[in-house]
Amino acid sequence: MFNRIFGKLSHDIGIDLGTANTLVYVKGKGIVINEPSVVALNKKTGVVLAIGKEAKKMVGKTPSHIIATRPLIDGVISDFEVTEQMLKYFIEKVHKESFALLPRPRVVVGVPSGVTEVEKKAVLDATLSAGAREAYLIEEPMAAAIGVRLPIQEAAGNMIVDIGGGTTEVAVISLGGIVASRSLRIAGDELNDNIIQFARDESNLLLGEKTAESIKIGIGSAYQMEEKMETIMRGRDLVTGLPKEVTIDDNQARKALSRSIKILIDNIKATIEETPPELVADIMTRGIILVGGGGMLRGLDKLVSEQTKMPVKVADDPLTAVARGAGIVLEDVEKLKEVLVSMDNEKAPR
């Protein structure tokens, strides 16, 4: 009874619980939160000092007793209690301007398609413990396909590639279900690591994660660019231990990223090989859709198109596709129930 009362005062929300960023969609309002999935903790007291943007500012800059950590690794919860705190913070932030003193929303959370039953249960439990009245799970490629308004319930092939921070999801969807899929642990974070490794191998330079990410965003590409771009890598010299800066151009950045991008394209090809020919014919007409932050890498759509012999396009607003899809499911949970992840406790009310 109390849940029903509090539920009427709460905003139902869709959450893209990403390794790098968490996005929150509120029913009737759209995307209201887009913050890094980072939590700053005091190791001595166990107290959470900051969550989201404020915690991200602390990464690599904290004293020994404070850690700025990501509670999700490769799209999977690595620290249950910290994830619960983070979810609670986002749920409360959504309800800050409402009259709900004790918000009890219905929540749909996106999870990678390759997660185990134990990992799914961890996400459900963390969501419920954070204050959800009901929690549902949806596979990220399915949510992304719904978010970019693909006709997933038709008897036709739709192919989506979601390149996030920790995982890349490749899926072919037809009749409201996933026909063929791949979930791999090569995504945005791995591309950052490629640049860190390149700087170490080529220039004896130790880069920080944030610096590597800014280089990837600034000049990173998957395909030969028309205009030459370059930037400066700043870090610590591994030989002298002193500060050092080295200029890197787009050709070097592309060489650094090439290994991971090749693995990614090989998995897209392997998924197409597993797809029934009738659906492949549909995808040849409709094209492959890229979503997620990694999908915005310069020239990736051209390279995938060249390698797969299929049209490829980057979705409009690719970063928010999963959160928007989770939100659309919330608008009519009963009608779209078959796209949700089924478990023994398919719906987990509190």
Residues 49 and 180 in one domain: no
Summarised one tens digit per residue, pLDDT across range 236-262 is: 999 999 999 999 999 999 999 999 999
Average pLDDT for 46-74: 84
Average pLDDT for 206-232: 92
199 pLDDT higher than 90: yes
Q: In this structure, what CATH number is given to the domain that contains residue 62?
A: 3.30.420.40
Crossing angle of helices 321-331 and 140-147, rounded to 10° = 80
179: exposed, middle or buried (Cβ count in 10 Å: 0-12, 13-18, 19+): middle
The CA–CA distances, whole Å, from 212 to 21, 192, 235, 295, 332 equal 17, 5, 10, 17, 41
Q: How many domains are there within the chain?
A: 3
Q: In this structure, what CATH number is given to the domain that contains residue 235?
A: 3.90.640.10
Residues 203 and 306 in one domain: no
Q: Which domain holds residue 14?
A: 2-143+321-349
pLDDT, residue 345, reads 41
19 pLDDT higher than 90: no
Query: Per the structure block, which two tokens stand in for 77?
Result: 């919860």
With bands split at pLDDT 50, 70 and 90, how would you rate the model's confidence at 47? confident
pLDDT, residue 77, reads 82
Query: Per the structure block, which two tokens stand in for 250?
Result: 């787009």
- The answer to whether the CB of 187 falls within 8 A of the CB of 165 is yes
| Predicted structure pTM score | 0.86
Residues 300 and 158 in one domain: yes
Residues 218 and 342 in one domain: no
Residues 236 and 270 in one domain: no
pLDDT, residue 347, reads 46
Residues 176 and 251 in one domain: no
Q: Which residue has the higher pLDDT, 131 or 307?
A: 307
Residues 157 and 278 in one domain: yes
184 pLDDT higher than 70: yes
Residues 69 and 174 in one domain: no
Q: What sign results for the dihedral spanned by CA atoms 190, 265, 219, 166?
A: negative
Average pLDDT for 170-193: 92
- How far apart, in whole angstroms, are the C-alpha atoms of residue 196 and residue 207? 6
Residues 88 and 215 in one domain: no
The CA–CA distances, whole Å, from 105 to 9, 223, 306 equal 8, 44, 45
Summarised one tens digit per residue, pLDDT across range 311-348 is: 999 999 899 999 999 988 988 777 777 788 875 444 44
Residue where a domain stops, chosen among 215, 238, 256: 256
